[in-house]
Every structure is written in C-alpha cells, then in structure tokens.
Amino acid sequence: MEQQQQKRYVLGKREEDGRYPVTVDGALTGTVHRRHGSWYAAIPGHRILERFSDRHEAAEHIVKWFEQGARPTVPAPGDRPATGLDMRTAGTGLLATRTYQHLVPDLVPTLPNLVRAVEAMARLAQLGWEPLEGYPGADQPWRMKCRLCGWTGRRFWSHLRGRNGDNTPRPLTRHRGCIPVSEMAAKLTTLAAERRRECTCAFPHPTHVTPMLEVLNKIGKALHDGAMLSATIHARAILEPCPASTMRAAALRLAHDQRARARRTVGQKIT
C-alpha cells in the first residue's frame, strides 16, 4: 500500500517559504512543511491539523485526502506564491488577509504567540527590516524587505534577533548585495527618526499598559469563545504597522505578564 501511494505523489523541491509542493496523480494538490520537529500537510481550503513524523508520511496523508475528494482552492491570478498554491486558508491562525498585519495561517493564535509577533515586528523596524507577511515563528523563513537597499527575500527571525540574550544587530550577515557595512549605521539612524513614542495613526494603537490590558482581555475572550473574526479585529491594535511599535511592544509585554500574574493569583485563591 505504501509503495502504491508513493507512486501516486511526487515531492517537489523545497520552496523559498520552506514548503515542499506535493503533486498527486499529476495534479498540484498541497504542500508539506516542517515545524518544531514535526511535519504538517496542507491543502488550500482544507484544514489538516495532524502532525507527522516525516515528509513522506505527511505527503501520504495528502493522497488520502485527495482520494476523499479534497481539491485545492485555486487563488486569483497574481496571488499565487512560488508553489502556485495559496496556503493562507489552510491553517489555524487569525483571519487571513493580504497584508502582514496578522499571524500567518499556520501559527496558532495564542496570546503568547501574539506577543512574540509584536515584539519581533517592532525589533525588525529597529533593524531596518519590513515584514511582508505575518510572523511565522522564530524557526520558519519569514518574507521581508531590507529597508537599507530594497532587497526582498526570506530570513529567519531566530538568526536576526541574536543569540543567548544578545540583541546586537549583525549587519555583516544581513544578506548578499546589501549596502556597504560602513554605510549601515547612518542608514539605520535615518530610519530611527521615523519612530515615535506615541501612536500617530488614524486607528489608535495602545502604547501604555492600561489600554493594552483592555485589548488583551478582549482578544483573550474572543479566542476563548472561538470568535476568530472578533479576535482579528481586536488584534489590529497590536499587529498593524505603527511608528510607535517599540513602545507598543514594551507595553504589550508588561500587560501580558501582568495579566498572567493576575490569572495565576486568582487560580491560587480558588484552589
């Protein structure tokens, strides 16, 4: 049976976003990708939540779904990534959009993940990067634009953020073909002038702990109730681009930790 299924699917080469296209009976059907040691399968328009031990087991699962009649949702021309498939509807994340303002579909929308996403995007602004899609997690390739020279491509956040608590930018490893290292500091200083301590956007984004707590409570309740559209709407306040992203990220971390301590205290009193 395994040999028959292996003959029915073909694994393509790894794409820029870390996914492997899977062709079943000659038709491009889905993709498989690795995250945190496990493999996942995805068919646009269908939710596949199982984990697999390797890429072939994940691909075989796509064959099973194909046999049951699952076919990929075809995106509009011009919206297709390198695989020719639109994976934005295949996962478990917040409501998919065409901007990077929300988590990518296959990153589970928990409050800790939201906090990490906000902190990562704020740090990218400091380092002269512009994310072009939702935060995928630290160990997944993230499509972004270098604001020093205009290059676009995928980088790993785990590589950009530094190691062992060291947040020092490493301009020598930005990417090939960037501006000379001797010019980077001046360019980053110019970009830093764009940042603000308070939000100046038409849609207000909280930069202080108290209003941030209100937003977190609304998002938390929406996620608990399974109201993903409401969660997405409230998440605008923390995920949309903002010149005060650094202050917002700091307030979010403090609010999240304060909220977590309060919930633990209530739990201890109950028990």
pLDDT digits (tens, 9 = 90+) for 52-65: 999 999 999 999 99
Percent of the chain with pLDDT over 70: 79
Q: Are 153 and 132 spatial neighbours (Cβ–Cβ below 8 Å)?
A: no
Contact partners, residue 237, CB within 8 Å, separation at least 6: 203, 204, 205, 206, 215
For 189-237, what is each residue's pLDDT tens digit? Answer: 999 999 999 999 988 999 999 999 999 999 999 999 988 888 888 888 9
| pLDDT, average across residues 233-255 | 93
Tell me the pLDDT band of 269, cut-offs 50, 70 and 90.
low
53 and 150 in one domain? Answer: no
The domain containing residue 43 runs over which residues? 2-67
Sign of CA dihedral 115, 121, 127, 131: positive
Q: Judge whether 50 lies within some domain.
A: yes
Quick one: which of 159, 152, 120, 77 has its CA closest to 249?
A: 120
Total of domains in the chain: 2
Q: Judge whether 226 lies within some domain.
A: yes
219 and 121 in one domain? Answer: yes
Q: What is residue 228's predicted lDDT score, i.e. its pLDDT?
A: 82
pLDDT value at 89 more than 80: no
131 and 9 in one domain? Answer: no
Q: What is residue 164's predicted lDDT score, i.e. its pLDDT?
A: 63
Output the DSSP codes for 157-218. HHHHS-STT-----GGGS-TT---HHHHHHHHHHHHTT--SS--SSS----SHHHHHHHHHH
Q: What does pTM read for this prediction? A: 0.70
Q: Are 216 and 174 spatial neighbours (Cβ–Cβ below 8 Å)?
A: no
What is the signed CA dihedral for 126, 139, 238, 189, rounded to 10 degrees? 0
Which of 31, 46, 67 marks a domain boundary?
Answer: 67
218 and 156 in one domain? Answer: yes
157 and 51 in one domain? Answer: no
266 and 143 in one domain? Answer: yes
233 and 152 in one domain? Answer: yes
Strand 20-24: give its sheet, edge to edge.
Answer: 9-11, 20-24, 27-35, 38-42
159 and 57 in one domain? Answer: no
pLDDT value at 96 more than 50: no
Rounded (5°) CA angle 265-233-238: 60
